Structure 1
């Protein structure tokens, strides 16, 4: 008899506005720390922290971003190939549209 374990299905994106004010503040703080760090291990740890705070599952080495679309989308999302780079970044965090915005009103892709 095989035993199956159940995994939690976590969304790949959440609405920033659905987070509490404290969660929003903390998420913003952690993203700022990730953007400024020069240590890849610290960056990965901060990304895992952002993902846990937002309730998004990512693999080690994954990224969680806020949508940078000009429509002011409230998405906090796992960075995937379906996202679109909308602006060059001088820091760690890419400036990308979430996959939904990239599908609905794509900006010029800079990748």
Structure 2
């Protein structure tokens, strides 16, 4: 009998709570996603990041590390309406965004 584990439905996780091996793998996958030119690969990589982090996203969704200058450890679902764009990502795939708590605590010009 196969046992299937399900992703926890969390909107964000603390990067520091992940094991070092999981942190390394998450960073590798995010870097690959940031540089791919294939939309299908990007979507697959985002699903991989979501599974590693334990965040449930829909196909086509994104999981990001917070880009706030406070060096926030949040890994979050980019679909959260309270996340905020910090700046354009010029030449890369991953948006440069603040997690919702940082968007409240450290307001930046909103580029959304």
TM > 0.5 fold call: yes
- Equivalence for 1:94: 95
Gaps of 5+ in 2: 1-5
> Which runs of at least 4 in structure 1 moved beyond 2 Å after TM superposition?
none
Higher mean displacement: 51-60 or 82-91: 82-91
- Equivalence for 2:3: none
User: What do the CA deviations read for 1:17-51 (whole angstroms, capped 9, x no partner)?
Assistant: 00000000000000000000011000000000000
- Equivalence for 1:107: 108
Matching of residues 70-81 of structure 1 within 5 Å: 70-80=69-79, 81=81
Preserved contact between residue 12 and residue 76 of structure 2 (Cα < 8 Å) = yes
Counterparts of 2:88 and 2:61 in 1: how far apart (Å)?
19
Gaps of 5+ in 1: 1-6
Aligned residues: 105
Counterparts of 1:57 and 1:8 in 2: how far apart (Å)?
6
Shift of 1:10: 1.5
Mark the structure with the bigger radius of gyration.
Answer: 1
Which TM-score applies when normalising by structure 2? 0.89
- Equivalence for 1:63: 62
Shift of 1:103: 1.6
